Chains A and B, each alone.
Chain A
Amino acid sequence: MSLQRRRKLLPWLFIGPGLLWLLIFFLYPLLNQASVSLMSGNPEQGYDLTWTFSNYWDAISEYKEQFGRSILYAGISTVLCLIIGFPLAYFAAFHAGRWKNLILLLIILPFFMSYVLRTVAWQLILSDDGTVVSVFRTLGLLSDDGRLLASSTAVIAGITYNFLPFMALPLYVALEKIDPRLLEAATDLYASRATAFRKVTVPLALPGIFAGSLLTFIPACGDFINAALLGTPQQYMIGNVIQSKFLNILDYPQAAALSFTLMLFILVGIFLYARLLGARNLTQAAV
């Protein structure tokens, strides 16, 4: 084999395994589910591909409430994660000194425990005879028979807690890359610290804000654990519906149609979000 041909082959050799993996475990199931979403039939006799596009309209119209709730809960949680995660990441990046690694460790520490268990722990924390509820009742933040568990608040709190690291870590990475001398330069050029933050820190953190928001919002949209463990059917999100259709009712076409609809929503959402933040800033600020 000539050197030149070998050179041409080399890149394929490198991406080959990854490509194969994606083909087998991502693209194939995706196409498979796409075809399932267009089937009709019933669990007993099985399903056939009949190009039943109405699956989509049925799914959307029947579950628009859960769709809306998914996007609402995921959206609120993402904003909360940003509000909580930004100061955390900012502190870790600029002021933590030798405590930096400890803070980062604390951020990822919850990952050492299983997702479901963490959420069960929140069940205990928010339970009716738990400390949080009793403190809230004493402070008058909750009425005497008010509950935290089985409410939207509980579900949103759970999602926020579970996804905070996905927000905080990309933010940390983006903030940590900012050269403190840029902030000195800004104050040298008559910007107060607040203005320097607004005009330099935030724009340079945009890639982190973007990445963190996606990493939080996307899985949060499809989440069903938090709603199942911390909520009631009144708080169920689209993930709960898909899960029960797939695993309990065995209505595969509807479940697949719901999944694809969710995917579409998210893609459109990402696109709009990138436009909002300015795609140019996202790529160029990172340089």
Chain B
Amino acid sequence: MHELSLMMGIVDQLRKSAAENNIKKISKVMLVVGEMTMAVPDALQLAFEAFKEEELFQNAVLEIRKEPVRGECKDCHHNFGVEDFAFVCPNCSSPNVRIASGRELYIDYYEGD
């Protein structure tokens, strides 16, 4: 449900940037969504549809790149894929693990004319 409010922030940023870059029509938006964010790709797609009446977004395709959850051990610096959200280093068993990726939520780029 909050995907709509997230999408409002996303289209705001796109409108602003498009105006600055003199872009009238956006053809593609690349959004990066980490797997440990609470944004559901399908719901984001649906929310994006709500803005399709606007000329800027009429022909725009939203693409979503998912980032898997990875951890980095603070003790032995091992970088690993986190499974089932268990933040324990498979190399040295330390629980001292930083989230290296999976928390991303940003617009990577967009294309347009």
- A, B from the same assembly: no
Residues of B in contact with A (beta carbons under 8 Å apart): none
